[in-house]
């Protein structure tokens, strides 16, 4: 990724050996060049690029004048065949920002006919906008339930992605309920009561951190030792195979949220339909913990190996270290000896898997 433009017309070029249909392209030295022509502040451009290609791209400054260019109204480029993105002007106040988001939603939702074609945009927020008021105002947008919002309070950036509900996605988010059910069964076996479980499934509600960052998960688990305003310990994020990079970025963002309590584990449920790089449907469950070398991002868990289930014979018990779920491991788990595990039995996971697979083409 390199800067190739002028002071008045900066551009960035992405070089790839793959040909991605649906974008304007040209052949250059045997590789495909995609050009983003952009007058937007590169801070926002960098955010968008890192969201989409976190491991593939780097932005190099070609001239210091690039960093002070004025905003353009809308800059759009189709990167992936199934992923559209837009960079928008921030607006001068809360009313204009919400108006821009609402208009963008109305224009893009009719095009987002499939959950495999999300649309995305990001914008920098002016310093005079109250972040709590912005969150409340965005919740009043008529088509709000079709959007997933991440508000980065520290960087003062708003990220919005279309979210087309599907039955398969809904069944995937039920994994949080299955983990809670498995804990309840585990507690009963040890002669405990419902009150001893010490955790609750808090659904898809939004969460704020102390920097006023705002994020929504597809499912969450919250220890009862935490307050309702704390962050959950476990988050479930569900997506289709094409959104793997976005899901991992979501996990990084959860780890980057600050507060007296922190997210310990993000479980990514990736749904691979028949025809998406494979003729066989499958479900991949990936576990992301806090990176010990950089606690503000996630890394693949060494305690919970990734699971890939194609048929009922692949389904096993789901075992998660209890320390990743609880702040203080309850006695009904410690009484079972070490290692301390939260276990969802195979029969429960099989029922979840079969219901999920039945909703996938």
- For residues 208-230, give the mean pLDDT: 91
251 contacts 267 by C-beta, under 8 angstroms:
no
Q: Torsions phi, psi of 253, nearest 5?
A: -65, -35
Top mean pLDDT of 59-63, 245-249, 278-282 is at 245-249
Query: Is 153 in the same domain as 187?
Result: no
Query: Is 130 in the same domain as 255?
Result: no
CA distance 86 to 150: 15
Query: Is 73 in the same domain as 185?
Result: no
Q: Torsions phi, psi of 346, nearest 5?
A: -55, -40
- For residues 292-298, give the mean pLDDT: 93
**Averaged confidence pLDDT in the chain:** 75
Query: Is 194 in the same domain as 281?
Result: yes
Query: Is 187 in the same domain as 109?
Result: no
Query: Into how many domains does the chain fold?
Result: 2
Query: Is 80 in the same domain as 33?
Result: yes
pLDDT at 83 over 50: no
Ranges assigned E (strand) in the chain:
2-3, 11-16, 26-28, 31-37, 74-80, 83-88, 119-124, 147-152, 157-162, 199-201, 206-208, 214-216, 219-223, 234-240, 265-272, 282-291, 294-300, 307-309, 318-321, 341-344
Query: Is 120 in the same domain as 188?
Result: no
Burial of 345 (0-12, 13-18, 19+ CB in 10 A): middle
At 81 the pLDDT is 32
Query: Is 173 in the same domain as 308?
Result: yes
* Structure confidence by residue, pLDDT tens digits, 131-178: 889 989 999 998 888 888 999 988 888 988 887 778 898 999 999 999
CATH of residue 351? 3.90.1570
Which of 122, 186, 127 is closest to 157 using CA atoms? 122
* Final residue before a domain boundary, out of 162, 184, 215: 162
Query: Is 131 in the same domain as 183?
Result: no
CA distance 175 to 219: 8
pTM above 0.85, yes or no: no
Query: Is 28 in the same domain as 10?
Result: yes
Query: Is 305 in the same domain as 326?
Result: yes
Any bridge partners for residue 148, and if so which? 161
Angle between helices 175-189 and 346-358 (to 10 degrees): 160
* Structure confidence by residue, pLDDT tens digits, 230-277: 999 999 999 876 578 889 999 999 999 987 789 999 999 999 877 655
Find the domain containing 203 and state its range.
167-358
Alpha helix positions (H), 125-174:
131-138, 167-173
Query: Is 207 in the same domain as 329?
Result: yes
* Final residue before a domain boundary, out of 111, 134, 162: 162
* Final residue before a domain boundary, out of 162, 189, 218: 162
Q: Torsions phi, psi of 332, nearest 5?
A: -65, -20
Q: Hey, what are 203's tokens?
A: 């659904």
pLDDT at 211 over 80: yes
Q: Hey, what are 60's tokens?
A: 């190099």
* Structure confidence by residue, pLDDT tens digits, 91-123: 557 888 888 888 888 887 766 555 556 777 788
């Amino acid at each position: 990724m390199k800067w190739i433009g002028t002071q008045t017309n900066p551009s960035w070029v992405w070089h790839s050996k793959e040909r991605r249909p649906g974008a304007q392209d040209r052949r250059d030295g045997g590789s495909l060049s995609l050009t983003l022509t952009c007058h937007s502040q590169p801070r926002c451009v960098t955010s968008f690029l890192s969201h989409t290609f976190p491991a593939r791209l780097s932005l190099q400054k070609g001239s210091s004048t690039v960093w002070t260019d004025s905003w353009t109204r809308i800059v759009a480029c189709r990167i992936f065949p199934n992923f559209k993105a837009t960079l928008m002007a921030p607006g001068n106040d809360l009313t204009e920002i919400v108006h821009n988001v609402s208009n963008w939603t109305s224009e893009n939702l009719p095009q987002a006919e499939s959950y495999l074609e999300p649309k995305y945009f990001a914008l920098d927020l002016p310093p005079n906008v109250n972040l709590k008021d912005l969150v409340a105002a965005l919740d009043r947008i008529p088509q709000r339930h079709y959007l997933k919002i991440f508000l980065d309070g520290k960087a003062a950036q708003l990220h919005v992605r279309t979210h087309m509900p599907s039955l398969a996605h809904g069944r995937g988010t039920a994994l949080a309920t299955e983990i809670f059910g498995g804990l309840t069964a585990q507690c009963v076996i040890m002669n405990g009561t419902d009150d001893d479980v010490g955790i609750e499934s808090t659904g898809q509600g939004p969460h704020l951190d102390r920097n006023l960052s705002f994020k929504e998960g597809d499912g969450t688990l919250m220890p009862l030792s935490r307050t309702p305003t704390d962050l959950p310990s476990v988050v479930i994020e569900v997506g289709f195979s094409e959104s793997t990079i976005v899901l991992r970025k979501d996990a990084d963002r959860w780890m980057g949220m600050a507060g007296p309590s922190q997210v310990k584990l993000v479980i990514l449920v990736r749904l691979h339909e028949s025809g998406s790089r494979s003729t066989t449907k499958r479900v991949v469950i990936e576990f992301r913990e806090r990176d010990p070398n950089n606690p503000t991002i996630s890394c693949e868990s060494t305690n919970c190996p990734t699971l890939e289930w194609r048929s009922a014979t692949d389904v096993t018990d789901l075992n998660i270290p209890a320390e990743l779920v609880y702040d203080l491991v309850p006695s009904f788990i410690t009484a079972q000896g070490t290692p301390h595990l939260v276990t969802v039995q195979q029969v429960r996971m099989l029922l979840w898997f079969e219901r999920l697979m039945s909703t996938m083409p």
